[in-house]
Every structure is written in structure tokens, then in C-alpha cells.
Chains A and B, each alone.
Chain A
Amino acid sequence: MSVIKTEKLTHIYSMGTPFEKVAIEGIDIDIPQGQLLAVIGHTGSGKSTFIQHLNALLQPSSGAVYCQGEDINKDKFSRRDVKWKVGLVFQYPEYQLFEETVYKDIAFGPSNMKLSAEEIDQRVREAAAFVGVDEELFEHSPLELSGGQKRRIAIAGVIAMRPQVLILDEPTAGLDPRGCQQILENICDYREKTGATVIIVSHSMDDVAKIAERIVVFHKGKVAMDGSPEEIFCRAEELMDIGLDIPRAAELAIALRREGLGLPEGIYTHEQLLAAILAVKEGSAC
């Protein structure tokens, strides 16, 4: 069943002025419930504009967005309600923290939903557990924590609304490798336990290769490719043509194949590469 569907979605910034700019054009995407989708593309390719349409922060210049079959831009109320269903975590979300305590900040979303105090409390604790924030920190000011912790609190603030679709814009940008790994694990964990749909916007091909089930590549405001990681990373040359990287494992596999090593196609993670090399080694040993 599709949870989010866009039809000929087009957005033009500053329409009718000399600064008019087409950000995205004719986007048709259908996202089934529970999928882990990665959106990749260059700066200015329209991916950030695209995700802001999915929870009605931006209204399409033309076309429509449907959430569970309903047009989200139908009226004022649907535009508001969709924000509970589709949670959006912006890039560098740690700069949006504002409350005196960590607890209050995570509770901001749920309290906007006008829930009861017990319900809010339960959701805050649950969200904090998902992102690995200790309850000891609840009474601290969010501004005195480390960057990685701040980011996790900001993500918890969105998760606390229990969105059925969780969208994250560059969740790992600016974190050290270990922090990246943890955030990605937290996100996968959340998806497994709640069955939520997750959309990740990322630059890092290695992150994407590790976790995504489906990849959509944006280029100049249009969908350039759409498919499983195998399908996408097989078209390494096209990816490089539009200025995107490919995962390091895929790059290495291509280089080895060029040197004459008989590796199969469709390798894009370290594990796959290792297995393939070992297989070749055993084959030649016999």
C-alpha cells in the first residue's frame, strides 16, 4: 500500500519575478508503507524542496501530494494534520533546540498535538530511548550538550510525534564516523520497531548503500534514476556523469574488474566485496 504518492509535482520559487527558478518539475513517486528510501542528488538538485512538499511545508506550484490516499493540500486542516503523520528532521537539526531542558524540547511536538500529559511523557521517554538519549539528561539544558547528543535530541523531538513517515535531511552531516553509525542504527531500529516508512536524504553513498532498499536520484529538479541499490550502482558511469560518487566498495570492484579480476556485477557494500574477492581467491586456489 502506498503511504506517500506525488503526481506531477512541480515547484517554482519566486514565481512571476525575475528571480523565478524551477526547483522541481514533474516528480512522480510512489512510496509504499515501510520502505526505507534514500534520496540522493547534488546541491541544488531539488531534493530538499521535494521533501518539504511531503509534509506540506511547501505547497506545489502544480501537481499534488497524497498521504494515505488523501490530498494533503486539500485545506488548512489537512496541511496541519499531515505534519503529525510525516515527521521531517531538517539538516543540522541541533540548531533548532530552544527549550530550557532536554525533556521540554522533545515534548514540544507532542504538546503541539494537544495530547494529555501522560501521553506526552510516555512519548518523550520512548523517543529518547530510540535515539539512545539517557533519561539522566532530561533536566539538562540542550545547549550545553555535545553536537552528536544535540542532534539525537532533535531527532527525538520529531520521533516523539510518532510519525508514520520519518524524513531526515542529511542526518549524518558533520558527525564523526562513530556518530554517523549510531544515528543510522537508531533510525533503522526505529523503523524495525514501529514499521514506519523512512526517507533519508544523503550525500554519503556509503551510508546509503548500507541501509537503503530503494534509491531515488535527483538531477536538475527531475528524477534521474529510481530503483534498488543494485540497479542504481550498476549504472556507476551515469552517476559519475551527473557528478555523484559511488560507494567506495563499488569503486574498488570496478577498478579490480578492469585489472582482470573476475568479480560479479552489482557489488556495492564492503561485505559483498569481501565475499566476492574470497570466492575468486578460492576459485583460483583449486
Chain B
Amino acid sequence: MLKDITLGQYFPGETVVHKLDPRTKLILVVVYIISLFQATNWISYAFITLLTALCLKLSHIRARNIFKGLKPMLFIILLTAVLNIFYTTGTPIIPGWPITWEGIARAIQMMLRICLLITGTFLLTYTTSPISLTDGLEKLMNPLKKLRLPVHEMTIMLSMALRFIPTLVEETDKIMSAQKARGADFETGSLVDRAKAMLPILVPLFVSAFRRADELAVAMESRCYHGGEGRTRMKKLKFAARDIFALILGAAVLALMMFMKKLGI
């Protein structure tokens, strides 16, 4: 049950989208989000939906994986829709009712917007390995080093956190089984009882997380890790022709969306 977490999941592949430089992809996601918020009309929504579908097609990601990722957000999506249906003024469907045609249209657009927003970010994490993602992030945030921001330390923490999610999930599973074998009961009882029942899981989990952190620190230090200063890379990030092409395309999409907003279509 715990194994169903899709956070930070990566599906290896050899498509154009996979091969793009992580920096390009990060910039494009930001551009995509800004573009998405320019959409105000059905035509612009249709355009950006089509564009997203095209990108998914290019990256060979199955629609099923996207739906699986959207599932945990279902509640927020529906809540937004319901609120919009009831709180938008306009012509009512039936005179006297609070539901308006405008409200329904808005609700659909809002749902579409949230779904596209999530899909866009999934496209990034599904096609970029956590390591290259944090590499790209570090490179992009490099100028912030001038402000004495510990960019390298922040990104290495991020990549370690991502790396240890599956390990900790597995560990939790194991500890849970072991305590169940000693008769621990996690499913019945009052809320307080159940919260108390988590203790036999949390304590060993914390102990092992600290142990792992310690071991990792020793392992890194014994391989002479001493922070980002003067550290070189085996795989240097390089912009290729396709990256420049993708960035120009992204800029064009953003310009088009802004233009459409101005025209009001």
C-alpha cells in the first residue's frame, strides 16, 4: 500500500523529451505554467491542452500514469470546481438557482487548468532522473551563489531526500510487519489508540534514519566530499541544438498565448 507513492518517480526512456537538457526542461516548465495562466478562453485552453497532449505523445508516457498521479489531487480539483459553479455570477440555468452557465464554464476551465498544471510538472519528473534534475537546478540557481546562498548544499540535500524516499518506504513496511508479528494492531481502536500504535513504527524508523544519515555522511567524507567548492562533474550539462530549438518554441508559445489573451480569444 505504501509502495504506491509516485512522488518523484522517473520512467527511463530514449525520447527527445528525455534527452533534453534538464535546465531546458526546468525553464520550459516555468514558461508552460506562465502560458497556462494566460489562457482565458476556450480556444486558448484547447490550444494548450493540445500542446500538452503532443508533449506526452513525444515522451511516450502512458495516459494511465498521468491519471494515477492526478488521483491524489482529485479532492482539490473537485472542490475548486464546485466552488466555481456556485460562486460565479451570470445567467442562471434555471431562474432563481445559484448555478449559472458562466459558473459551469469556469468550473470546467479551472479543472482543466489544475490538471494541466499537474500534468506539466509530471512531464518533467517522469522524463528527468532525480540526479540530472538537481544538477540542472543547481546550474540554474548558480547566480544565487553570489548572494552567498548555499545552492550546492541545497540541491544535494534535495537529491538525497529523493534518493531515500523508496528506502524509507521499504523500511517502514518491514518494521510494520515485524510489529504486527508481535501482535501490534494498527487498524482498530479509537483515534488516540491508533496514534499510539504508530509509536512502535516511528521510533525504529527515526533511529534507522539517523543511522543511515550517519553512515552516508561517513561514506561521503571517506570519498573526500567537502561541499561544492572546486567540485568537477563527470557528466557536464551541455546545451544541444534541440535545446535551443525547444526554448525558442517555448518562447513562441508564451508570446502566442499572451497575444491571444490580449485579443480576448
Residues in chain A within 8 A of chain B (CB atoms): 52, 55, 57, 80, 83-84, 87-90, 93, 95-98, 108-109, 112-113, 143, 157-158, 161
Contacts and interface: CB of A to CB of B under 8 A. Distances in A.
Nearest to B183: A112
B174 interface: yes
A108 B181 contact: no
Contacts of B73: none
Interface stretch (B33-41, B138-146, B147-155, B200-208): B200-208
27 contacts: A57-B177, A57-B180, A57-B181, A80-B183, A80-B185, A83-B180, A83-B181, A83-B183, A90-B174, A90-B181, A95-B175, A95-B204, A96-B179, A96-B200, A97-B204, A98-B203, A98-B204, A98-B207, A108-B182, A109-B183, A112-B182, A112-B185, A113-B183, A157-B182, A158-B181, A158-B182, A161-B182
Given A80-B185, A83-B183, 7 more contacts: A80-B183, A83-B181, A88-B181, A95-B204, A98-B200, A158-B182, A161-B183
Contacts of A158: 181-182
Contacts of B158: none
A213 B185 CA distance: 35
A89 B199 CA distance: 19
- Considering the complex of A and B, which 4 residue pairs feature the smallest CB-CB distances, nearest first? A112-B183, A98-B203, A109-B182, A88-B181
Nearest to B202: A98
B199 A87 contact: no
B50 interface: no
B9 to A, nearest CB: 13
A261 to B, nearest CB: 47
B175 A87 contact: no
A96 B184 contact: no
A interface, over-half SS:
helix
B182 A55 contact: no
Contacts of A88: 181
Interface residues of B, number: 17
Contacts of A52: 177
A109 B185 CA distance: 11
B181 A98 contact: no
Contacts of B200: 96, 98, 108
B154 to A, nearest CB: 30
Contacts of A90: 174, 177-178, 181
A134 B183 CA distance: 25
Given A83-B183, A112-B185, A161-B182, A98 B177 contact: no
Nearest to B187: A76
B143 to A, nearest CB: 42
Nearest to B185: A112
Interface string B163-202: 0000000000011011111111100000000000001100
Contact of B207 (A57, A95, A113): A95
A114 B184 CA distance: 11
Contacts of B183: 80, 83-84, 109, 112-113, 161
B19 to A, nearest CB: 24
A84 B181 CA distance: 8
- Among A93, A112, A143, residue most surrounded by chain B Cβ atoms (within 10 Å): A112
- Among B178, B179, B181, residue most surrounded by chain A Cβ atoms (within 10 Å): B181
Given A83-B181, A112-B184, A158-B181, A98 B208 contact: no
